[in-house]
Amino acid sequence: MGLRIGTIEVPVPVVLAPMAGITNPAYRQLCREQAEQGAPGIRPAGLFVCEMITSRGVVERIPKTFEMLRFDPADPVKSVQLYGVDPGIIAKAAAILCGELGIDHVDLNFGCPVPKVTRRGGGGVLPWKRDRLEAILRAAVKAAEPYGVPVTMKTRKGIDDDHLTYLDAGRIAEQSGVAAIALHGRTVAQAYGGDADWEAISQLVDAVSIPVLGNGDIWEAADAARMMAETGCAGVVVGRGCLGRPWLFRDLAARLRPDGSDQAPLLPTLGEVMAMVRRHGELLAESHGERYGLTDLRKHMAWYFKGFGLGGELRHALGMVSSFAELDDLFVRLDPDTPYPVGEVGTPRGRQGSPRERVTVPYGWLDSMLLDASVDLSDAESDVSGG
């Protein structure tokens, strides 16, 4: 059941999706530690991808970008997701990542649905321009090849139901030497709303010979197993499902490791959740100090304690915590034996929103599947989350 991406063997076929402001080194380490509990002695117990960075940020050596390129020394695979629209810049960035920074795996982002990205022709709308997609993929693969680093890509079904791109994108990726492709079973117009289309993942599996990873609506380990069984995908990519639930990777690893079990995982008690929160805070504090670490932890509190009956005052206090002393004082007020709220099992987490009537794209973008020379994408990497 293991996953092979180029020269990288991943016995547990699970990938932590890069999420801006979430998958920093501390959270990636936390998820990896949980995965290794679920698959003791097996490494890597999944791929844990760095937050998305921009190719221009790497090439111009922007300090914020390089600050994001920090990794837990114990992680056996240094994995980065790269965003860009210019083949030359992408190639230079890939060479720096592989040659200077020792990155083991480069993933290219063609799935971002954020309007500030799509209006400039990037992210999930770029695959509509088949020639530009191919040029970027070939440039990245060529740049990474001397270092033996595999290049993968992530995409969506298309811009909307009338402008689907995933099958063409898969064929182009395979022809360009891409090692694997991840498909989020939603269009850009859907963003994170509605249901993911697993049938599209199955169609892509049938259309290409490279590994296909499925993404979308994986809330529990059983969902991942079902997606792989129903679609034939080689592995899964997990994003919002692990928000406030890093132990999901323990459950995924236990289920999807080579000798995995299909027994239902044990739900954590409130005390175990509190211990996880404190471990998260400690990892954040190790790199940036206690105050920064606990401040960054605040945004995770609502996810961690979703469904628990804490009361409004305590929830508010947890969302304002700035020291371990404050955190411990608040935790003393909670009953550690409180069972996990079963009503939260298998439910969506994080942002959802509603489908958009229209995706914002550059003027005339949909008129042709080829990139008109007059279309200027020079500013497509400015003001993009990830540095």
Catalytic residues: 112
Q: Which two tokens stand for residue 8?
A: 């990288």
Q: Starting at the edge strand that comes first in sequence, how are the strands of the sheet with 180-184 ordered?
A: 47-48, 14-16, 235-238, 212-215, 180-184, 151-156, 105-110, 79-83, 53-54
Q: Which two tokens stand for residue 345?
A: 């099992």
C-alpha angle 315/318/323, rounded to 5°?
170
Is 369 exposed, middle or buried (CB count within 10 Å of its CB: 0-12, 13-18, 19+)?
middle
- Beta strand 8-10 pairing with 3-5: antiparallel
34, 261, 264, 271, 366 from 38: Cα distances, Å: 7, 10, 13, 19, 46
